[in-house]
Amino acid sequence: MVWADVPAELEDDFNKWYVEEHITERMGCPGFLNAARYEVVTTGPKHLAMYELESLAALESPEYQKVRANPSDWTKRVSPDVIGTTFIRNTYEMFLPDKLSDEMAERGMAPALQIGRINIKPEDEDGWNDWYNDVYIPNYEKVPGVISGRRFLAVEGEPKYLTVYDFENENVSKTPAWDHQRTINPANNHWQKTMLHLPDSPGIWRKTFEL
């Protein structure tokens, strides 16, 4: 996942580069399943690019290493690590669910995402993970408009945990059904208080481009 803010006067060129060159180039590498761009709705950097990979090995393939080592002139000019006033590039490994279903791999990227970037104190971690996996995610997946809930561990970057809810639209978590699940389980109040969210977390992004 790559988050970025870029200067307004460079945004048109940045967007054009992403959709005409960069994502196509990445998706030509082995192990890249899906990719899409998103724009912020609530909090967080404006631009988000999310790539779904078969495994971390996709980032070690000769094809991927070649395109990274040989950036185009356009990439050198407008890549987010060059012009970004905010630039976050994190890599994650999914652990909930524990494997990628064929349906997930083939469905493409969600129209909207709600993303939580979270740390937890070590003494709370085991109980918190049990509750999150067995209670919190399954209950939110019952809400109309929720496609799925997934959890990831950071391999590169911080914080340690990432939660991604795939939504049918950007307003799913504003509904009474979502609010109902927030307090439906007696354990929710306790474990919600243990989560150490980043200041802009959770945030919502809407999809703007997918091949």
Can you give the CATH number for the domain in which 160 is found? Answer: 3.30.70.100
Predicted pLDDT at 99: 83
As to burial, measured by CB atoms within 10 angstroms (0-12 exposed, 13-18 middle, 19+ buried), residue 108 is middle
Give the whole-number percent of the chain exceeding pLDDT 90. 94
Report whether pLDDT(100) > 80.
Answer: no
- If you average pLDDT over every residue of the chain, what do you get? 96
Comparing 99 with 166, the larger pLDDT belongs to: 166
Given the structure tokens 């790539």, which residue do they identify? 51
Predicted pLDDT at 211: 87
Q: What is the pLDDT of residues 25-67, one digit of tens each?
A: 999 999 999 999 999 999 999 999 999 999 999 999 999 999 9
Predicted pLDDT at 192: 96
Q: How many domains does the chain have?
A: 1
Q: Is the dihedral of CA 178, 179, 184, 190 positive or negative?
A: positive
Which residue range(s) make up the domain with 56? 2-210
- What does 10-70 look like in DSSP terms, one character per residue? GHHHHHHHIIIIIHHHHHTSTTEEEEEEEEESSSS-SEEEEEEESSGGGGGSHHHHHHHHS
Report whether pLDDT(114) > 90.
Answer: yes
